[in-house]
Structure 1
Amino acid sequence: MSTNTATSDDEKVGTRRPGAVRSWFRDHVMASFDTFGRQMGMFVEVFKVLFVDIFKRRFPFGEFIRQCAFMSSTSVFPTLLVAIPIGVIVSIQVSNIAGQIGATSFSGAATGLGVIRQGAPLVTSLLLAGAVGSAIAADLGSRTIRDEIDAMRVMGVNPIQRLISPRLLATMVVSFLLCGFVCFVGFITGYAFNVYFQGGTPGSYTGTFASFASTSDLLFALGKAVIFGAIVAVVACDRGLSTKGGPAGVANSVNAAVVNSVLLLFTVNVILTQLFAILVPAKVV
């Protein structure tokens, strides 16, 4: 009797396993593809609405300015606090490696290009994802669970036109400005640390940087920052508008917005960096 019972239990477990696998695949893998597709659809729609509204002069510039002011006040000081150690860390690592291979005179070029090409856009976008993206997701999520978004649709107001497009443009503008700010602060910090603490010379630092850097490096960094800002805004808005489950759902949406943004930012950064390396040849001195 006990043997038959054990056999039947094993058969039940065996029959449940395929169903559990299918359920996990549907709830995680397919849900991720659905989310990505929904976000891409929102990305296209919000840009279409943005360009049409600007062309027809009905873009809500008041909301855009308010969002720019809020995002700037939220992210400028944390960005400054992160930009300074980024310049110092890159300077320390580059100078140590350059000293081991006898190329200390090139530390300025390596430090400056490292901060401008990679450090500044990533620092800017990650801080925006953590500070601004979470705020956007929380705001829109709260509006969603209070049925404000549905009420806007009932009254004939397009939430994408009224809420999302000004936040998207504001995030892109603030990301552009913050990236330029981080480039400047990171370069100056790396320069000061190299000259005053590592025994470097001002002429060597600036000379090698000027020899290897070009305008395309700065334009590439600023362009990446704009793209990253758009990603942060679209992901945060999508997560906010898809909030379910009351206040706990708002918290889940905020967490998902930050995590999804970070994953997409690093993925897109790899793609853009590879494209830049292919399309823009390295400067030979």
Structure 2
Amino acid sequence: MARSAREYLRRHPVAAFETVGGQFVLGVRSTRYLALDLIRGRFPVEEFVRQAAFMASAAMLPTIFVALPIGVTLSIQFGLLAGQVGATSLAGAASGLAVIRQGAPMVAALLMAAAVGSAVCADLGSRRIRDEIDAMEVMGISVVRRLVVPRFAASILVSVSLTGFVCFVGFLGGYLFNVFVQRGAPGSFVATFASFATVGDLVLAVVKAVVYGAIVAVVACEKGLSARGGPAGVANAVNSTVVASVLLLMLVNVAFTQLYLLLFPRAGL
């Protein structure tokens, strides 16, 4: 057992660096091929539309059911906190900004990782174990350009769309709960949010959504293309896709938040 532990500690860091390196290279290649195909007019629009429609249908319904509780929960917490410090009029600004800056991008990204990332990984992993990927490589067809790039672009588009949708649903849920349950003033909720929210907050949410969508697509595609060991290997790849995506999204979210606060400090709320 001690030998197994030593072997694991010796091999795991190397495997982790190889995985991260492979994902980084795949992300760079996907971005480069996407830009080149758009410029040259060779972008596979039909496959892109098909993948985007599939991703939206897979993630839309769970997003609705998660966005409403998130908006209501934030409204409850910030309403209680505002009442304790005697600033109940700022509940709208606090809950609305929390949804736009943190809630919406993370909710959309986590649902993308769980619903979309697992499906993309399972699709590509199944192609790998059926030797379809090897057949494409033998025929000289670029797997990245044919399979990864459309999913990469579709994931970014759907992530941005879901983020905007979660912003709307989360803010609406918080507004309705604040007005009809907590007996807050409708005008105060909207006015305080409009006073403190800026275009930079929306830009930050969109940038986060683009990066998160790209991360989910790259991780899912890399895990699917590297699946080995038959159906069990595909199942393990799907599981590792969700886990790795969530951990990476959390780390990137912390980095984004700290960088934004450093570059655009605020004296108030």
TM-score range (shorter-chain normalised) is over 0.9
Question: Which sections of structure 1, spanning at least 5 residues, go unmatched?
Answer: 1-15
Contact 1:74–1:132 (8 Å) recurs in 2: yes
Residues 1:244 and 2:228 are matched in the alignment? yes
Tell me how far apart the structure 2 counterparts of residues 101 and 129 of structure 1 sit (CA, whole Å).
38
* Aligned equivalent of 2:122: 138
Q: Which amino acid aligns with 1:64?
A: F
The alpha carbon displacement at 1:27 in A equals 2.7
Verify: 1:40 aligned to 2:36, yes or no: no
* Structure 1: distance between partners of 2:159 and 2:206: 8
Contact 1:87 1:190 in 2 (8 A): yes
Amino acid corresponding to residue 64 of structure 2 in structure 1: L
**SS in structure 1 opposite 2:227?**
coil
Alignment TM-score, normalising by the size of structure 2: 0.97
Partner of 1:74: 58
Structure 1 CA distance for aligned equivalents of residues 37 and 190 of structure 2: 45
2:9 matched to 1:25?
Answer: yes
Bigger shift: residues 39-48 or 142-151 = 39-48
- Within-5 A mapping of 1:213-232: 213-232=197-216
Aligned with residue 196 of structure 2, among 184, 204, 212: 212
How far, CA to CA, are the matches of 1:96 and 1:30 in structure 2?
A: 48
Code of the aligned partner of 2:95 = T
**2:163 corresponds to:** 179
> For residues 147-200 of structure 1, what are the alpha-carbon distances to aligned partners after superposition, in whole Å with 9 as ceiling and x for unaligned?
000000111110100000000000000000110010011111101100111011
Aligned to 1:103: 87
| Partner Cα distance (1:238, 1:130) in 2 | 16
1:268 is matched with which residue?
Answer: 252
Pick the aligned partner of 2:137 from 153, 159, 162: 153
Provide the rounded CA distance (Å) in 2 between the counterparts of 1:193 and 1:67.
36
Deviation of the 1:103 alpha carbon: 1.1
Query: Paired residues, what number?
Result: 269
Output the TM-score relative to the length of structure 1: 0.92
Flag the structure with larger Rg: 1
Query: 1:213 is aligned with what amino acid?
Result: A
Is residue 213–residue 283 contact of structure 1 (8 Å, CA) maintained in 2?
A: no
Structure 1 residues 21 and 74: alpha-carbon distance in aligned structure 2, compared to 1, 3 A threshold = closer
Q: Percent identity?
A: 57
Q: Distance in 1 between matches of 2:23 and 2:152?
A: 13
Match of 2:185 in 1: 201
Query: Deviation string for 1:64-110 (max 9, x for gaps)?
Result: 00001101111111101111111000000111111111111110010
- Is the deviation greater in 73-82 or in 160-169? 73-82
3-state SS of 1:281 partner: coil
- CA RMSD, aligned part only? 1.3
Contact 1:212/1:283 (8 A) holds in 2: no
Residue identity matched to 1:142:
S
Give the deviation of 1:281 after TM superposition. 2.7
Distance 1:269 1:201 in 2: 33
For 1:55 and 1:273, how far apart are their aligned partners in 2? 33
1:107-145 alpha-carbon deviations (Å, 9 max, x no partner): 001000001100000000000000000000000000000
**Equivalent AA in structure 1 for residue 75 of structure 2:** S
Aligned mates of 1:22, 1:73 — CA distance in 2: 45
Question: SS of 2:41's equivalent?
Answer: coil
Q: 1:168 aligns with which of 132, 147, 152?
A: 152
Residue 175 of structure 2 aligns with which residue? Answer: 191
